[in-house]
Amino acid sequence: MSMPYAAQRYAATRPWAKRAGQIFSQTLKLEDASAGLAEAVRRELERAAQVFAVSEETCRNEGLLALAYGCFVRGGRVIAHLDGALAGALAATRLPTQLPDTLRLPAEACFLHVEGLGGAFLYHDSRDAALDLVLIGAALGDDSTAWLEEAEPMIALRVGYPGELAPQLAEVPEVWQPLLNAVIGALSVLTQPKAELAREWEASAPAELVAAAASGATPKARQKARSALLTQGYVEVTHCRYPELVTGVSYGTQGYWRRQQFGEDKANSRLVWVQPR
């Protein structure tokens, strides 16, 4: 079966992926889970180094990816898919100077897929008002062993909010800017009242099982269909949409974000999206 999402391909190509899920699902403290997973990855890479020329960069990148994947599993394995029409509109919109004061996320830890660009593992550290992002390219996991011989392209960064974005993003290489801009735009647009989050089975899932899982005659029938879909490796995807947008539009005027003050003494603020035209 096809695996359109990098989070799926990561799980299929990393020998420690199943162990990562177990550790992060069963260990109470995140710090303990991180340490346990780091040790498991280190042992696997040491074994791989007996056959492949495993570089320090590969060890570093795989450690970060494993931690991001573990948080993804701990958060419920939520995959969010940025709708193509919305991605196109956000690409024609200037970045906000700050993230929203309050975020609306599909989950506290999730994977955000951006068609053609790759995606990002997101972890929301609400205590410190920050987001940990691990950006990965569209080709992650396409080859089962190439990542051992050549480090998987990725970049990790932490973004705090509220606060100016420019200084926090200044060191991000240009090659990652389109994906980063899409992720920041998605985080911003999801706070808009019209933004929709709709959970659906991935497009390649068998239609008859999808229909049975949604509207089977009995709860038992619905659960049986759902179990069959999961057993066959299909996943539910949270689609991020903006209903009035359409694909394939060429925008002539760039969109932008403005900050609107509200509340007593205008102590609170929110972002308002002025769409491209």
Q: Domain segments of the chain: what residues?
A: 6-195+242-274
Q: What is the pLDDT of residue 145?
A: 80
> What is the share, in percent, of the chain residues with pLDDT greater than 90?
82
pLDDT at position 266 is 65
Identify the weakest region by mean pLDDT among 48-57, 229-238, 248-257: 229-238
Mean pLDDT of 31-38: 96
Label residue 265 by pLDDT band (50, 70, 90): low
d(CA 270, CA 131) in angstroms, rounded, equals 18
With a cut of 80, say whether residue 1 has pLDDT above it. no
Residue 171 has a pLDDT of: 94
Report the distance separating Cα 210 and Cα 203, nearest Å: 10
Q: What's the mean pLDDT in 21-28?
A: 94
Whole-structure pTM value: 0.91
**Burial of residue 86, with CB atoms counted within 10 A of its CB: 0-12 exposed, 13-18 middle, 19 or more buried:** buried
Give the 3-state secondary structure of residue 134. Answer: strand
For residue 57, what is the DSSP state? H
Question: E strand or H helix at 140, and its extent?
Answer: none
Strand, helix or coil for residue 21: helix
162 has pLDDT over 90: no
Q: What is the pLDDT of residues 189-244, one digit of tens each?
A: 999 999 999 999 988 889 999 999 999 899 999 999 989 988 888 889 999 999 99
Distances, alpha carbon 276 to alpha carbons 87, 91, 96, 101, in Å: 12, 9, 14, 23
Q: How much is the pLDDT for 115?
A: 94
Contact of 112 with 122, CB cutoff 8 Å: yes
pLDDT at 39: 96
Q: Say what the pLDDT of residue 233 is.
A: 80
pLDDT in tens, 107-122: 999 999 999 999 999 9
